[in-house]
Structure 1
Amino acid sequence: MSLTEMKDGNQIRWRFGKYLLAEINVNNDSITVYDDVPDGRFRNRLKVDNQTGFLTITNITSEHAGDYEVNTNRPMSTTFFLTVYYTVKSVSVMEGDSVTLDSGLTETGLRENNIWWKTETEKFIIASKYGTDGTFRDRLELDHQTGSLTITNITTEQAGLYKLEIRGANSSSKAFNVSVYARLPVPIITSNSSNCSSSSSSSSCSLLCSAVNVSHVTLSWYKGNSLLSSISVSDLSISLSLPLEVEYQDKNTYSCVLNNPISNQTQHLNITQLCHTCADSVHCCGPTEAVIRLVLSALVGVATIIALAYDIRSRRAEQDQAHFHTSGRNEI
Structure 2
Amino acid sequence: MGVFGGEVKSVSVMEGDSVTIHTNIKLQTDDLILWKFGLNKTLIARINGVAKDISVYDDVLDGIFRDRLQVSNQTGDLTITNITTNHTGEYKIIINGKQNTSYRFNVTVYAHLPVPVITRDSSQCSSCSLLCSVLNVRDVSLSWYKGNSLLSSISVSDLNIRLCLSLEVEYQDTHTYSCVLNYTITNQTQHLNITHLCQTCSDCVCCCHVSEAVIRLVVSALVGVATVAGL
TM-score by length of 1: 0.57
- Alignment size in residue pairs: 202
Alignment of 1:1-332 (within 5 A): 66=2, 84-106=4-26, 109=27, 111-129=29-47, 130-134=54-58, 135=60, 136-169=65-98, 171-194=100-123, 198=125, 202=126, 204-282=127-205, 284=207
CA RMSD for the aligned pairs? Answer: 2.2
Which segments of 5 or more consecutive residues in structure 1 lack a partner in the other structure? 1-64, 67-82, 297-332
> Alpha carbons of 1:152 and 1:110: their partners in 2 closer, same or farther (altered >3 Å)?
farther
Which segments of 5 or more consecutive residues in structure 2 lack a partner in the other structure? 48-53, 218-231
* CA deviation vs aligned residue, 1:4-60 (integer Å, no higher than 9, x gap): xxxxxxxxxxxxxxxxxxxxxxxxxxxxxxxxxxxxxxxxxxxxxxxxxxxxxxxxx
Work out the CA distance in 2 between the residues paired with 1:250 and 1:98.
44
Q: For residue 111 of structure 1, give the secondary structure of its aligned residue in structure 2.
A: coil
* CA deviation vs aligned residue, 1:170-205 (integer Å, no higher than 9, x gap): 53211111111110111111112236xx2xxx3x31
**1 or 2, which has the higher helix percentage?**
1
Partner of 2:222: none
Shift of 1:232: 1.2
Q: For residue 6 of structure 2, give the secondary structure of its aligned residue in structure 1.
A: coil
Structure number with the bigger relative contact order (C-alpha 8 A, sep ≥ 6) is: 2
Work out the CA distance in 2 between the residues paired with 1:272 and 1:177.
47
Determine if contact 1:163/1:174 at 8 Å carries over to the other structure. yes
Report which of the two structures shows the higher radius of gyration computed on alpha carbons: 1
Q: How high is the sequence identity, in percent, across the aligned residues?
A: 60
Q: Which letter does structure 2 place at the counterpart of 1:141?
A: Q
Determine if contact 1:113/1:171 at 8 Å carries over to the other structure. no
